Structures are given as C-alpha cells and as structure tokens.
Amino acid sequence: GAVVSQHPSRVICKSGTSVKIECRSLDFQATTMFWYRQFPKQSLMLMATSNEGSKATYEQGVEKDKFLINHASLTLSTLTVTSAHPEDSSFYICSASEPTSGSSGGTDTQYFGPGTRLTVL
Amino acid sequence: GQNIDQPTEMTATEGAIVQINCTYQTSGFNGLFWYQQHAGEAPTFLSYNVLDGLEEKGRFSSFLSRSKGYSYLLLKELQMKDSASYLCAVRDSNYQLIWGAGTKLIIKP
C-alpha cells in the first residue's frame, strides 16, 4: 500500500504557542488529504479535507482560524494548531487517498500517516 | 442520520476464529472499508468491499451484504498481535467516509 509520513511524531508545547504538523505522501501524489483527531479511547474524528491548490473543507464545529491547513503541493499538507491550549492535546492523524484496485472493484483508499501526539502544557 | 454500529469490545482465544460485525445506515453507499488500529498508532487499511460477497486476504476476510446494510470481518488463526481495534467505515453518496467507533479485540492465550 501507499506510504504516508507525518512529522513530528510527538510534540510537547506551552499553552499559547503554535504547532505545525506535516503530512507527506511518499510514493504517490495526493490531490486530497484528510486530517483527523482522536482522543484516548475514542473514534477518529474528521477535522478537515485538504485539497491541493484550494481551501480546505472543515467539518462542522472545527475552527478554521485555529486549525490552519495548507496543501501546497501534491505530496504535502500541513496542519497548524494556532495558540494551542491544553484541550487541544490529542492524537492528530493525516491520511491521503490513493486509487486501489481489487476483485471488488477500484476505489480511492485512505492511507494513514503514523500520527502526531500533541501535548499542550 | 448516518450511523455505523459495531460491538465495543470482543474477546477471543489465540488460534481461534472471531467475527466482527458492522451494520450501517448511510445516505447512499460507495464501499465499505475495514481498518486495524493498534493502541497509540494510526489505522492501517485491511480491506475494501463494494460488491456483495466475501473478500479473502490471508487470515482476514471481509463480507458484505448491501441489501442488509451489513458487513463482517473474519479473523482466522488468531495471534496475540491481532489484539487491536477494528474500524468499519462506509463511503456514502457524497464520497464521505463515515466511521464506526471501532471494536476493541482482546486476544487471550
């Protein structure tokens, strides 16, 4: 399957600072990437869909001014958590879609990066 | 509304077989995915079904019945490393992925 990298894997920061997380598709081009957040023992929550060359589409309840997304190239999307607060501490995961084929037909499958664990003190 | 239902937790024995069910009610259907997620890690893709029937991939198989809004993931010859959460996700008519809450599978020796 496709490989997606994410950096950094772990970050600890002080309240009020901004944190940038990078998501890269390593062996394919991704016009669409997705950003998720996952709190402990909870399911994935889609935050936004990142589209190369255009504005991201944010899910309801996600503040676009707080979670800045830039998808500047076909292999890189960044998420910046601005003025982070302790309640923003979470596991942030990106994914990128790549076409896959199989006996059940072809589709775009989301492949996930390894995630970034953010702790805001 | 749209929802995906999976059991919260299941327990099985090493070497045995376990079936994890997923039922869905979504606006349209454009495929169903199963992902595995180990604690503290990101999900990894397991399988994709869009046509009715069984897809087999080694020890893992996934089944789909569109008329019943039902899928299952079958894991054979269970190994301790199979202890993880298994996520069911359905792509709706808008090509949005709707995620289930996941089933935590505990494997006992």
In A, which residues are within 8 Å of B100 by CB distance? Answer: 43
* pLDDT digit string, tens, across residues B36-53: 999 989 999 999 999 999
- Smallest CA-to-CA distance from B87 within B78, B96, B97, B76 is with B97
Q: How far apart are CA B91 and CA B3, in angstroms?
A: 11
The residue among A107 and B30 whose pLDDT is bigger is: B30
Q: What six digits make up the tokens of A55?
A: 């504005």
Confidence of residue B94 (pLDDT cuts 50, 70, 90): confident
Q: What does the mean pLDDT of chain A come to? A: 91
Question: Is the Cα torsion angle B80, B85, B91, B94 positive or negative in sign?
Answer: negative
CA-based nearest residue to B103, from B24, B44, B20: B20
Residues of B within 8 A of A58 (CB-CB) are none
C-alpha B76/C-alpha A52 separation (Å) is: 41
A7: helix, strand or coil: strand
Reported as a single tens digit per residue, the pLDDT across A37-71 is 999 888 899 999 998 888 899 999 999 999 999 98
Percent of chain B with pLDDT over 90: 92
Distance from CA of A65 to the nearest CA of B (A): 23
Alpha-carbon span A108 to B9, nearest angstrom:
29
- Residue B39 touches partner A, C-beta closer than 8 Å: no
Q: Do A43 and B99 touch (CB under 8 A)?
A: yes
Q: Give pLDDT, residue A84.
A: 96
Residue B61 clears pLDDT 80, i.e. is over it: yes
Spatial separation of the C-alpha atoms in residues A77 and A29, rounded to whole Å = 11
Read off the pLDDT band of A105 (50, 70, 90).
low
Among A89, A93, A94, A83, which Cα is nearest to A118's?
A89
Confidence of residue A5 (pLDDT cuts 50, 70, 90): very high
